[in-house]
């Protein structure tokens, strides 16, 4: 029995090694195609065959490195949930836009999960760097960005409203620390008046759907308060 267990363990380690090696090869190839322009970030993030790579740090790095000022798509055509477009603009207190800023967003699925199999990835602190639904995009000269996704749901066994986390850096790479950190949705059943006041007091943003019941559109103006 002991020998059988050793063999099974060895086979498992070999399988994991082969999988990791293949993933590294795939990520390298994707990085080259992104750099050359053969593929766009949207094409990679919305392709079901690469979804298993989304939580891997090296994969996320090539997405970040190749972010462009273009409409970003972060979900596959079959991703469950209300198709949603996020339109944003980043300015300073004098309404001056942040051009070519790097914007990072991540969110839960229609189940309220960051991971494929659970609400959180190991712990809530790991969600920022490993959430399955994520994307990097740059702002245009007017400080605008756009992302196509699905409207997230709040965490299971929680009354917290659904939200999209957002972070951004200037064209020089300096973090915009005064940026509103979460985008919320007026139509969310969990966004009670009390929750909305709490969110707004925390500096978060709430927007109405200006699209349709089948394809939502939310617009946010993010003013950096430094």
Rounded to two decimals, what is the model's pTM?
0.90
For residue 174, the SS3 value is coil
Which domains are seen in the chain, by residue range?
69-223 (2.60.130.10)
Looking at beta carbons, which pairs linking 64-67 to residues 24 or more positions away fall under 8 Å? 64/102, 64/104, 64/136, 65/31, 65/34, 66/31, 66/34, 66/35, 66/41, 67/41, 67/102, 67/103, 67/136, 67/137, 67/138
* Ordered mean pLDDT values, 10 residues apiece, the chain (226 residues): 52 57 94 97 98 96 98 97 98 97 98 93 86 98 98 96 98 95 97 97 97 98 92
> Is the separation of the CB atoms in 146 and 86 below 8 Å?
yes
Q: What per-residue confidence (pLDDT) applies to 117?
A: 87
* Structure token pair of residue 126: 């790991």
Q: What per-residue confidence (pLDDT) applies to 122?
A: 78
């Amino acid at each position: 029995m002991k020998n059988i267990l050793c063999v099974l363990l060895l086979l498992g380690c070999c399988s994991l090694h082969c999988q990791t090696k293949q993933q590294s090869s795939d990520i390298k190839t994707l990085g080259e195609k992104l750099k050359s322009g053969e593929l766009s970030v949207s094409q990679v993030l919305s392709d079901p065959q690469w979804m298993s790579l989304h939580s891997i740090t090296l994969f996320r790095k090539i997405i970040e490195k190749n972010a462009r000022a273009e409409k970003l798509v972060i979900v596959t055509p079959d991703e469950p949930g209300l198709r949603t477009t996020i339109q944003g603009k980043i300015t300073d207190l004098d309404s001056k836009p942040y051009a070519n800023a790097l914007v990072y967003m991540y969110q839960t699925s229609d189940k309220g999960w960051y991971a494929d199999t659970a609400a959180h990835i190991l712990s809530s602190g790991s969600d920022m760097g490993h959430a399955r639904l994520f994307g990097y995009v740059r702002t245009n000269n007017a400080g605008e960005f756009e992302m196509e996704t699905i409207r997230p749901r709040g965490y299971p066994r929680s009354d917290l409203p659904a939200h999209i986390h957002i972070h951004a850096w200037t064209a020089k790479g300096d973090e915009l620390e005064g940026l509103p950190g979460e985008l919320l949705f007026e139509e969310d059943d969990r966004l009670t008046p009390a929750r909305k006041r709490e969110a707004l007091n925390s500096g978060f943003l709430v927007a109405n759907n200006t699209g349709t019941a089948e394809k939502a559109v939310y617009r946010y103006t993010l003013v950096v308060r430094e």
